[in-house]
């Protein structure tokens, strides 16, 4: 049997305002798996990813990430666990005035000793590494540009490059291609899948566009109102199941084309 | 037929009452402070006022005095600069400790966040103590320890301004977009790195300009401390005032205006560099 990447046992999560985002989730995934999470907005996709990323703590139930319970270990061990989890955020969390290379290098801050990260502010300690990551995403020429000179789609790819450079065991992505055109979003998804496959990492992505999920991912999890509606191989996901999943959006399936015009 | 709907601003009453309460508090305060602007323009007062001002003309520009002023100016600048540098040494760690967005244990919250909260509370109390006591009081205390001279002034500035800088640094960092720092903490980065890579790029301009403004304040504060024997332009001014030498006082005041102008200019240059 393969190594477990993460597992949820009876996990529920409520926001501080009392709104329940996830209810009684039981799920597990092993290393090397690639999973897409779909569901209408507000169905709990982001909370689900943040729970795996140890950015949120479950209200009830327990979580195991990379074979440890993140909320019962010491602060130091939690920090080193986090350095093995990479999350591509929905809103790219990069200061506008930072250079692309610095933003990508920041992916390894959890793994570097302090002197190395201080030195890197004076002169980048690694130039080839970030360049390679950016090259995969067709962005190598922007290595020394400032992030506020980039378009939304380019910035989103810098966020992806940071996680590629981090090279985590658990690769999470929250709507990683929402600001990209179909060609670039295919490239980016392929790049993340390839990276996870070669390093035997587990890759979980939430996606707004159903067609991207079905096209690239072997396992699909459908979330509806904070609950797992289905958890199936992509080949078993039927059209009628999807219509039920998106019942709140009047059964209209969000696809790549429509996703780009609406956002 | 569509019914016309007239919406009322639901916040109007609240805003109006805040304004009324504000005035109700302010008015008695002005009374207590004996604020009376018309007293300035009464004939008798105008005469006293202008007689006082006339003493200041012309400024004393004798070479021997200017040399003294130059020496004192350099001493004052050194005092303010050394004081601010020491203050920053205290303020940067304190500011980083109390900034919520750089707290690792708040995420979750994780184990040990009670201890971290206690640490932040103690740091806040320390800052309050440092800045709560006016620098002149610190200077009076320190003059007794170190004797007359600039060192008392330097330490007095370092202590008070350390507390002030820490408070404002953390406030500036809180108003920054906190997502980049949080994202870095989530990928296992420590507090210092989250600050350097996540918050500093956005906040550096504001942090620098506030620090320079505080340096300007320190220049002025060092004058007040000169009055209690901490050296610099203040001590010189104290002597001139005691000898009722208005010309000398006005020369010193002109130097002050020039120093503030200089601070403005330095601030502008640094902000441009960081932009």
Q: What is the CATH classification number for the domain harbouring A192?
A: 3.40.50.300
A139 and A205 together in one domain: no
Which pLDDT score is estimated for A258? 46
Alpha-carbon torsion B43, B44, B49, B52, what sign? Answer: positive
A156 and A182 together in one domain: no
Q: Which of B119, B173, B178, B186 to mutate to test the interface with A (most CBs of A within 10 A)?
A: B186
Tell me which of A113, A138, A167 is where a domain ends: A167
A206 and A97 together in one domain: no
Q: What is the mean pLDDT of residues B70-79?
A: 90
- What pairs with residue A65 in β-bridges? A6, A68
Which pLDDT score is estimated for B194? 95
User: What is the fold, at CATH topology level, of the domain defined by B63-274?
Assistant: MetI-like fold (1.10.3720)
A235 and A263 together in one domain: yes
A76 and A176 together in one domain: yes
A12 and A62 together in one domain: yes
Partner B contacted by A55 (CB < 8 A): yes
A146 and A212 together in one domain: no
Q: How confident is the model at residue A1 (pLDDT cuts 50, 70, 90)?
A: low
Tell me which of A118, A139, A167 is where a domain ends: A167
Tell me which of A167, A191, A219 is where a domain ends: A167
Residue A102 belongs to domain spanning: 93-167
Which pLDDT score is estimated for B4? 61
How far apart are alpha carbons A263 and B203 in whole angstroms? Answer: 30
- Do A117 and B105 lie within an 8 Å CB cutoff? no
Alpha-carbon torsion B187, B193, B197, B200, what sign? Answer: positive
- The tokens describing B264, both together, are 């403005």
Q: What is the mean pLDDT of residues B232-256?
A: 87
Q: Which candidate, A103, A86, A199, A110, places its Cα nearest to that of A154?
A: A103
Read off the pLDDT of residues B143-187 as tens digits, 9 standing for 90 and up.
889 888 888 889 999 999 999 999 999 999 999 899 999 999 999
- The tokens describing B254, both together, are 């002109």
The position carrying tokens 């620090």 is: B211
Residues of B in contact with A86 (CB under 8 A): 187
Q: How far is CA A115 from CA A121, A195, A243, B189, B198, in A?
A: 10, 28, 53, 13, 17
Sheet strands (E) in A66-213: 85-88, 170-174, 202-206
A49 and A101 together in one domain: no
Q: Which candidate, B78, B63, B52, places its Cα nearest to that of B153?
A: B78
Residue A263, pLDDT above cutoff 70 = no
Which pLDDT score is estimated for A259? 43
- Structure-model confidence comparison of residues A105 and A1, the more confident one: A105
Please, what is the average pLDDT of chain A?
91
Backbone Cα Rg of chain A:
18
Which pLDDT score is estimated for B125? 93
Residue B2, pLDDT above cutoff 60 = no
Partner B contacted by A93 (CB < 8 A): yes
Residues of A in contact with B198 (CB under 8 A): 93, 95, 106
Which pLDDT score is estimated for B5? 67
Long-range contacts of A23-26 (CB under 8 A, 24+ apart): A23/A225, A23/A226, A23/A227, A24/A61, A24/A227, A25/A61, A25/A227, A25/A228, A26/A228
Cα of A219 to nearest chain B Cα, Å:
25
A116 and A23 together in one domain: no
Q: Residue A24: is it exposed, middle or buried by C-beta count within 10 angstroms (0-12/13-18/19+)?
A: middle
Q: How many CB atoms lie within 10 A of CB A2?
A: 11
Residue A257, pLDDT above cutoff 70 = no
Residue B49, pLDDT above cutoff 90 = no
Q: Which residue of B has its CA nearest to A79?
A: B188
CB distance A57 to A71 below 8 Å: yes
Q: How far is CA A19 from CA A42, A82, B270, in A?
A: 11, 26, 46
Please, what is the average pLDDT of chain B?
88
Read off the pLDDT of residues A161-216 as tens digits, 9 standing for 90 and up.
999 999 999 999 999 999 899 999 999 999 999 999 999 999 999 998 999 999 99
Provide the number of CB pairs (under 8 Å) joining chain A to chain B: 97
Read off the pLDDT of residues A241-251 as tens digits, 9 standing for 90 and up.
998 898 877 76
A125 and A231 together in one domain: no
- Do A57 and B110 lie within an 8 Å CB cutoff? yes
Q: How confident is the model at residue B33 (pLDDT cuts 50, 70, 90)?
A: confident
User: H-helix or E-strand containing A237?
Assistant: none
Which pLDDT score is estimated for A261? 40
Q: Which residue of B has its CA nearest to A118?
A: B193
Partner B contacted by A161 (CB < 8 A): no
Q: Which of A141-145, B118-122, B224-228, B233-237 shows the lowest mean pLDDT across its residues? A: B224-228
Which pLDDT score is estimated for B16? 92
Number of domains in chain A: 2
A232 and A212 together in one domain: yes
Which pLDDT score is estimated for A260? 43
Q: Which residue of B has its CA nearest to A170?
A: B187
Which pLDDT score is estimated for B57? 80
Residues of A in contact with B184 (CB under 8 A): 93, 106, 109
Helices vs. strands in chain B: H and E counts, helices first: 11, 0
- Structure-model confidence comparison of residues B63 and A101, the more confident one: A101
A148 and A174 together in one domain: no
- Structure-model confidence comparison of residues B132 and A258, the more confident one: B132
| A60-65 sheet: strands from edge to edge | A20-30, A4-14, A60-65
Residues of B in contact with A114 (CB under 8 A): 190, 192-193
Give the length of chain A: 263
Backbone Cα Rg of chain B:
25
- Domains in chain B: boundaries: 63-274
């Amino acid at each position: 049997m393969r190594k477990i990447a993460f597992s949820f046992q009876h996990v529920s999560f409520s926001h501080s305002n009392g709104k329940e985002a996830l209810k009684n989730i039981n799920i597990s995934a092993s290393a090397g798996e690639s999973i897409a999470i779909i569901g209408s907005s507000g169905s709990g996709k982001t909370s689900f990813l943040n729970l795996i990323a140890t950015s949120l703590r479950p209200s009830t139930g327990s979580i195991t990430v990379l074979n440890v319970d993140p909320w019962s270990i010491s602060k130091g061990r939690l920090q080193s666990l986090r350095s093995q989890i990479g999350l591509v955020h929905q809103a790219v969390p990069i200061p506008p005035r930072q250079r692309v290379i610095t933003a990508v290098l920041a992916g390894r801050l959890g793994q570097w000793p302090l002197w190395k990260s201080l030195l890197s502010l004076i002169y980048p300690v690694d130039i080839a590494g970030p360049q390679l990551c950016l090259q995969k995403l067709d962005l190598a020429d922007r290595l020394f540009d400032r992030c506020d000179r980039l378009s939304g789609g380019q910035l989103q790819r810098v966020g992806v490059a940071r996680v590629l450079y981090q090279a985590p065991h658990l690769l999470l992505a929250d709507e990683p291609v929402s600001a990209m055109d179909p060609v670039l979003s295919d490239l980016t998804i392929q790049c993340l899948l390839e990276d996870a496959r070669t390093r035997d990492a587990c890759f979980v992505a939430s996606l707004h566009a159903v067609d991207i999920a079905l096209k690239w991912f072997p396992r699909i999890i459908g979330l509806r109102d904070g609950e797992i509606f289905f958890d199936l191989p992509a080949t078993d996901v039927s059209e009628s199941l999807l219509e039920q999943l998106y019942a709140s959006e009047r059964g209209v399936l969000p696809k790549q084309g429509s996703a780009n015009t609406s956002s | 037929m569509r019914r016309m709907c007239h919406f009322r601003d639901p916040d109007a009453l609240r805003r109006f009452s805040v304004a009324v309460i504000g005035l109700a508090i302010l008015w008695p305060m002005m009374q207590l402070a004996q604020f009376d602007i018309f007293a300035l323009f009464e004939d008798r007062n105008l005469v006293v006022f202008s007689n006082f001002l006339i003493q200041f003309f012309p400024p004393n520009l004798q070479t021997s005095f200017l040399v003294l002023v130059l020496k004192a100016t350099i001493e004052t600048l050194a005092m303010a600069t050394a004081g601010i540098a020491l203050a920053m040494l205290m303020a940067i760690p304190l500011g980083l400790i109390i900034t919520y967005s750089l707290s690792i244990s708040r995420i979750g919250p994780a184990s040990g966040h009670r201890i971290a909260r206690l640490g932040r509370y103690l740091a806040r109390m320390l800052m309050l103590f440092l800045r709560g006591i006016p620098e002149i009081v610190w200077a009076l205390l320190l003059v007794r320890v170190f004797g007359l001279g600039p060192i008392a002034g330097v330490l007095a500035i370092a202590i008070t301004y350390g507390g002030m800088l820490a408070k404002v640094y953390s406030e500036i960092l809180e108003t920054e977009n906190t997502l980049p720092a949080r994202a870095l903490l989530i990928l296992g980065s420590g507090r210092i790195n989250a600050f350097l890579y996540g918050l500093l790029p956005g906040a550096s301009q504001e942090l620098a300009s506030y620090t320079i403004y505080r340096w300007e304040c320190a220049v002025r504060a060092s004058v007040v401390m000169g009055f209690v024997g901490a050296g610099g332009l203040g001590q010189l001014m104290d002597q001139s005032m005691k000898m009722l030498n208005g010309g000398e006082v006005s020369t010193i005041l002109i130097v002050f205006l020039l120093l503030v102008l200089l601070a403005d200019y330095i601030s502008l240059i640094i902000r441009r560099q960081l932009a």
